[in-house]
Structure 1
Amino acid sequence: MAPAIIPSFVLMSVATPALQFDRKEYTQDVLLHLYQGLLKPRLIEEKMLILLRQGKVSKWFSGIGQEAVSVGSTLALEADEYILPLHRNLGVFTGRNVPLDQLFAQWQGKTTGFTKGRDRSFHFGTNEHHIVGMISHLGPQLAVADGIALADLLDKNPKVTLVYSGDGGASEGDFHEALNVAAVWQLPVIFMIENNGYGLSTPSREQFRFGSFVDKGPAYGMEAVQVDGNNVLAVYDTVRRLAEDMRQNPRPVLVEALTFRMRGHEEASGTKYVPQELFEEWTKKDPVTTYEQWLLREGILDEEAKMRFRETIKREIEEGLHVADAVPMPTANIAEEIADMYRPFDAPAHEPTENAPQSDKRYVDAISDALRQSMERFPELVLMGQDIADYGGVFKITDGFVAQFGKERVRNTPLCESAILGAGLGLSIKKKKAMVEMQFADFVTCGFNQIVNNLAKSHYRWGQNADVVVRMPTGAGSAAGPFHSQSNEAWFVHTPGLKVVFPSNPYDAKGLLNAAIEDPNPIMYFEHKLLYRSVSGPVPDEYYTVPIGKAKLVREGDTLSIITYGLGVHWATRLAEEMNLDADILDLRTLLPWDEKAVRQTVEKTGRVLLLHEDTLTGGLGGEIAAWIAEHCFEHLDGPVQRVASLDTAIPFSPPLEQAFLPQQRLREKVEKLLAY
């Protein structure tokens, strides 16, 4: 019989029913295992609250009162099934037997913690224990769970993935996107909603208007069940039965666990906003004491065993603290800090063989060629994007791919950039590669958080790389207006952990895309839309790569250096021919990391430097390189470093206005000014 549905507002209005434990077919060993699972995080928390007052830990997000959700659901799964917890899910980590000394070192900011002191609380993962921790932005982990489940589905691996969300965090757009994708793709994900009635201090009645989270399931086309989140046996039984069925019949399920947080959002926030009568009612449903009392009444537990369990856990806590306390606070190693932003990768050289067959290819065809050959080379590579399957993408780059690789690897996505980028990280956790196509670079704003806070920081934080290439059709020149024409590469050049690539010609477009897909780090791959069908050139038919981080001198001269990339290379080349300039034209090709050695060489050679890019002037990459030249090459300059870029406005639609916006018309004037020095 299905449990009665209790509307969320009931949590804050009337007394909740007493807990009823039904042991069903479970053995005494299982019941006692659940008890130990509940007791351990409670005793750890009680100790941590003492250490917090002593200043030995800096912050604490208490899960007291909610332990049954994480303990019951964790112990219901197989040990190699991934779980993605939140602040208050200590029971996930203890349930997976994470060493306590490492947990304590993590909370103390020690190098023996999971993040080497770089992040706090449960903001970490451990593949050894099949746990992927959260980031502070509530919601992104839901999409990562989709990616993990997708990998299992592709590998025909009968597993489920469990991910938690609070009732407050479920208001985020990431929640909607992740559930929608899971439903459309029928991914075996359990979405566990810990409904404790408050998002920090904001009660449910000010968060949403629906009666219960189980109302949401059918709207997404998925099952939804409600469980008493303080009843560890009910949580365990519900999740275990769901997981068993989902392994054989993959699909997502939403589980709403009704519970209550007995302390503040974090200790400094307090609980004055919570009516006292709620504490009185929910104290009667304490998940540890109520289960313990039931076990005693049923003769499954006696007082002697109760004390023995407690003393054993307390001793383990003290031993773990002793080990963690002995570790000194970290000493910063700057070289290590910088190096750990990226997964180490010695890129193999794939140069075209001598006299290799080649074809005259357009820029767009070279990109398509790279994707096709990378799909053949890496069977673990999955392509995801809007309309990229049968339709072939709006620019037809993946036209015909479904026939060759199938819809499992060439996946149309709903309009949900954030969820698909997060799924890319999930695929990486399962040792797969992902290419995510933004239909236009402008639309990446809808997934910005996943890129700059999740993908970019993942390896630095806990050693998990994000093997994701984000393809970004970019740029103006086609009168497409302010939402289909932006050059937004500078947003990502500012983000450590990313690599940013921007080819200017078909040869580089193919080689750099192949290199980007090989590289296990997150890469933003910009491709200028105006070049797709307007530029062509000889491209080897075979697979090859162009090294990331290396610029290319596309024209040589002695009196002037123009440093640029993308469409700027073509503007500069055309002007050089028109003016018969004796100029170096340096194509950066990679914007992060950019080639300092090549920049230094051209500056020292000519002494006059002009930085050109289509992006707006203020905050553009040209300003960064200009500052670097002034700092490192000042003595070689024969004039001030000049910049020419687009206006500091949004991109207008009308062609005359767009042309005035772009830097091409101002380029000649800047060159003449620089040559006059």
Structure 2
Amino acid sequence: MLRVNYGLIHIPIVPSTKAVMNFDRKNLDNNTLIGIYRKLLLPRVIEEKMLVLLRQGRVGKWFSGIGQEAIAVGATMAMQAEEYILPMHRNLGVFTTRNVPFERLLAQWVGKPSGFTKGRDRSFHFGSQEHKILGMISHLGPQPTLANGIALADQLNKNGRATLVFVGEGTTSEGDFHEALNIASVWNLPVIFLVENNGYALSTPTNEQFNCKRLVDRANGYGMEGRRIDGNNILEVYYAINEIANSIRKQPRPALVECMTFRVRGHEEASGTKYVPQELLSEWQDKDPLRLFEEYLIAEGLFRREWGPYLRDEITARLEPLIEKVFAESNVQPDISEELNDVYRESDLPQVAAESKNKVIRYIDAISAGLKQSMQKYDNLILMGQDIAEYGGVFKVTEGFVTEFGKDHVRNTPLCESGVIGAAMGLALNGYKALVEMQFADFASSGFTQIVNHLAKTHYRWGQNVDVVIRMPAGAGSAAGPFHSQSNEAWFIKTPGLKVVYPAFPDDAKGLLMAAIADPNPVMYFEHKYLYRNLMGKVPDGETYVEIGKARVVKEGSAATILTYGYAVHWALTYMAAHPDQDIELIDLRSLQPWDKATVIESVNKTGRALVLHEDTLTCGFGAEVAACIAEQCFKHLDAPVMRCASLDTPVPMDKGLEDQFLAKSRLEEAIKALLEY
């Protein structure tokens, strides 16, 4: 061993006769080679220091990339500064090579206010638009789908850029990975999917993870180029990624690169490596990319052995005061108002210059009109969905759009909801607005992680807004059965970071859709299929916006309040028309997250009686939240218990008779009678 470096957990640089690596410098000059060594050394020294801090109890967790630095450093060097990189846990070299300040990284790792997430998330779960780095979340599969959206934005801008996304070999078992490769191939997106094959996904070895000899062979199945390289050879990584990136910048298409490497430390430090055979660890420790590159430089006469310790000391001397500075920083001071305010990006409705004329149109035509006018207003708005282009969508909402706006902006997608929602998020991260049509709201379950963990949490975590709308054709009434008829708004209402709207009238259908598209936050836009061609109403023919979070008083009254939304508003109107003597007040919530508590409380305090009506099933439906709020805020004004009328706690049946029995409207008269007679 050449030296002992006190204060660091130091993997010794020991000359070895076992491992030999062929480095081809090609046209790199001496100074560049020394610079590459410095880039390799920096993340190594930082990691060694982090291991010391971990053992001292000053940091709580660490995912070590020691022995794998050549991939992150070499690949990042090959990308242009304005091109996005999406790294993983063990890719510290991406951040250091992109010159992300160490003190900001450390503040992130230990949860200080100056970190990227202000103590709200850990490790590399953040992004930095300044450095064109988009970090991961714990759900590993979604990253490649975001890369597709980022690359699509670049492709639409015709700026000749590539995107690089890292995954581990374990992630290649995730459905999102395969959806991403398929979309990238179909759309010829300039994305490099870089797989770090490091032997183990936590403790699961590759032979228990997949049954193919080479992961790169999967590229053939998706019609894309595949290349397998030595991930511990810094020059091989650099030249391979550089060559591929240069090529796909000129001729956009995806590529899959498998980098062979090994994780010589635990998945995280607490997990250890006892499950790895010692001979395998020894073999890969001999392939240490830093040591082998240093030996190469020495053999070439470019580097003296004593320079290594000198450079380590130089880096350590820079790190030590920064470490103490970060630890001396005050901890995050909890502030409820700040936490709540950071869930959403602030939003203002666009100003409408002049009053529009009203036209009587169908509910579905109002949606189509709002969508078309938004497309005309925002040249960066991209529509995506199954069969939405030439076919016009299964409900014909986008019929004719492809002729006016073109297939770049009205995009048919493969049948992969998660991959498409991830691409929408990537578009939003790279300066676009995206709207995804779910063919049926039921199918959003296939993209659930993307919606509730990615779209919803990003602004709160690191201040990045996600400008995505998801259209959700929902509801029963057409005998379509359990998988085409659900009212699944409650899945999303409880997720902080999502906005949820559900219009009941044509004018609100247009106004809420245009407001959702204008809003910089992710919005789930529910539209009831039965109302499409069965409801008409007056709708402004120009731009119109309905404030998200504001309820609509449909009819004033004094005897009781019905609180509802969607198709159920019309059930209530039908009942009230048949019982004009009952003087019931009807509130259409229309916005479910956020929702208009003030209007609800004011109405119930006035009438003293409240019925919450919705098409969704009873248990844990949104009505439970509304009823709880009324019980807490209006108790002293109530003349009867808060009552709920909802659909049966069963899946939605297909048979017309069973469906009618299932729906809340079959029990509405009985529920109102009980409320008024209490």
The match for 1:264 is: 266
Deviation at 1:29, TM superposition (A): 2.2
Q: Is the 8 A contact 2:19 2:286 kept in 1?
A: no
Asked if 1:642 is matched to 2:651, the reply is: no
Moved more, 299-308 or 287-296: 299-308
Tell me the CA shift for residue 424 of structure 1.
1.2
Tell me the distance in 2 between the aligned counterparts of 1:185 and 1:141: 17
Give the SS at the match of 2:61.
Answer: coil
Local SS of the residue matching 1:303: coil
Give identity over the alignment, percent: 59
Matched letter for residue 562 of structure 2: I
Amino acid at match of 1:303: R
Aligned AA (1:212): R
* 1:215-614 map, 5 Å: 215-350=217-352, 353-354=354-355, 356-580=356-580, 581-614=582-615
Work out which of the residue numbers 143, 149, 157 in structure 2 matches 1:147.
Answer: 149
- Matched residues in 1 for 2:19 and 2:415: separation? 42
Residue 14 (structure 2) aligns with: none
Q: Structure 2 unaligned segments of length 5 or more: list them.
A: 1-16
Question: Which of the residues 102, 108, 111 maps onto 1:109?
Answer: 111
Residue by residue, what CA displacement relative to the aligned partner does 1:503-561 show, whole Å, maximum 9, x if unpaired? Answer: 00100000100000000000000000000000001111111111111000111111010
Q: Partners of 2:462 and 2:349 in 1: how far apart?
A: 23
**Secondary structure at the residue paired with 2:448?**
helix
CA-to-aligned-CA distance 1:475-508 (integer Å, 9 cap, x gap): 0010000000000000100000000000001000
> Does the CA-based 8 Å contact 2:349-2:545 persist in structure 1?
no
Post-superposition offset of 1:16: 10
Query: Aligned letter for 1:461?
Result: R
**Distance of 2:38 and 2:451 partners within structure 1:** 39
How far did 1:80 drift?
A: 1.1
Instruction: Report SS of the residue matched to 1:214.
Output: helix
**Is 1:57 aligned to 2:73, yes or no?**
no
Name the counterpart of 1:186: 188
Alignment of 1:12-51 (within 5 A): 18-51=20-53
CA distance in 1, matches of 2:573, 2:536: 15
Give deviations 1:543-597, integer Å, cap 9, x for gaps: 1111111000111111010000000100000001112231100000100000011
How far residue 300 of structure 1 moved from its aligned partner, in angstroms, is 1.7
CA–CA distance in 2 between the matches of 1:423 and 1:633?
44
Distance 1:205 1:103 in 2: 35
The secondary structure found in structure 1 opposite 2:397 is coil
1:10-54 Cα shifts (integer Å, max 9, x gaps): xxxxx9973211111111222122111110111011000010011
The amino acid of 1:623's aligned partner reads A
TM-score using structure 1 length: 0.96
State the Cα distance separating 1:316 from its structure 2 match. 2.2
Question: Which residue number in structure 1 is paired with residue 7 of structure 2?
Answer: none
> Does the CA contact (< 8 Å) of 2:18 and 2:286 recur in 1?
no
Could you tell me the TM-score, scaled by structure 2's length?
0.96
Going from structure 1 to structure 2, the CA distance change for 1:341 and 1:554 (only over 3 Å counts) comes to same
Distance, in Å, in 2 between the alignment partners of 1:195 and 1:528 is 46
4+ residue runs over 4 A deviation: none
Bigger shift: residues 22-31 or 269-278? 22-31
Give how far 1:57 is off: 0.5
Q: Offset at 1:349?
A: 4.3
Tell me the equivalent position of 2:88: 86
Looking at structure 1, the residues matched to 675 and 44 of structure 2 have their Cα atoms a distance apart, in angstroms, of 70
SS in structure 2 at match of 1:350: coil
Aligned length: 661
1:373-419 deviation line (CA, Å, top 9, x unaligned): 00000000000000000000000000000100000000000011111
Q: Secondary structure at the match of 1:534?
A: coil
Deviation at 1:303, TM superposition (A): 3.4
* Distance (Å, rounded) in 1 between the aligned partners of 2:380 and 2:195: 32
8 A contact 2:64–2:90 mirrored in 1: yes
**Residue 449 of structure 2: SS of its match in structure 1?**
helix
- Is residue 195 of structure 1 aligned with residue 201 of structure 2? no
Q: Distance in 2 between matches of 1:369 and 1:195?
A: 49
Secondary structure at the aligned position of 1:60 is classed as coil
Q: What stretches of structure 1 of length at least 5 have no aligned partner?
A: 1-14
CA distance in 1: counterparts of 2:104 and 2:560, whole angstroms: 57
CA distance in 2, matches of 1:106, 1:350: 42
Question: Equivalents in 2 of 1:135, 1:656: separation in Å?
Answer: 46
